[in-house]
Amino acid sequence: MSDDVHDRRRLPAVMALLAVIAALIAWDLLLDYGEGADWRHVSIELAVLAAAGAGLVLLWGRLERTRSDLAAARDRAEEWQRQNRELVRGLGIAIENQFAQWGLTRAESEVGLLLLKGLSHKEIAAVRDTSERTIREQARAVYRKSGLSGRSALSAFFLEDLLVPGEPRE
């Protein structure tokens, strides 16, 4: 998994920890105040409370920005898919036809498509509920039957003619 996913999962845990720390310090401050604690001790605890609160506020802002960015990215992806639905459908049909010409089995075709989507062997094994070794063998069969040298060549086979230079931008 990417670091972004791990960060996104850890963020609420860190925020909860900071909230617990802030609550415990606030409680301790109330107890210390009632006992007439030294002003230096109270000021140190106030500084720690302020730091925990500031951290909580900063992380909350980061979480909200992340949610907003994710929503915007999903909107852009949906718009791209909507605008290019027919093109993508045509490309999918062309890929299926080419896989059939190569004589790929249904399983090999599925693995080939997932390889084109950029999934690792481990990710494909999880998606297909099989072993990573099986996926490696099916990927080798895809490369052997297609006469291509690997994942990059497979991707290039389908993308080469799609990526023609456009008009220069001004």
Q: What is the pLDDT of residue 2?
A: 47
The token pair that represents 96 in the structure block: 């299926």
**Share of the chain residues as helix, strand and coil, in percent rounded to the nearest 5:** 80, 0, 20
Contact 53, 21 (CB under 8 A): no
Question: Model-level pTM?
Answer: 0.54
Q: How far is CA 139 from CA 26, 96, 99, in A?
A: 59, 16, 13
Residues 50-73 pLDDT 10s: 988 898 899 889 889 988 999 999
Q: What is the pLDDT of residue 144?
A: 97
Q: What is the pLDDT of residue 111?
A: 97
Residues 103-159 pLDDT 10s: 999 999 999 999 999 999 999 999 999 999 999 999 999 999 999 999 999 999 988
- For 104, the enclosing helix (H) or strand (E) is none
Contact 108, 145 (CB under 8 A): yes
Contact 106, 112 (CB under 8 A): no
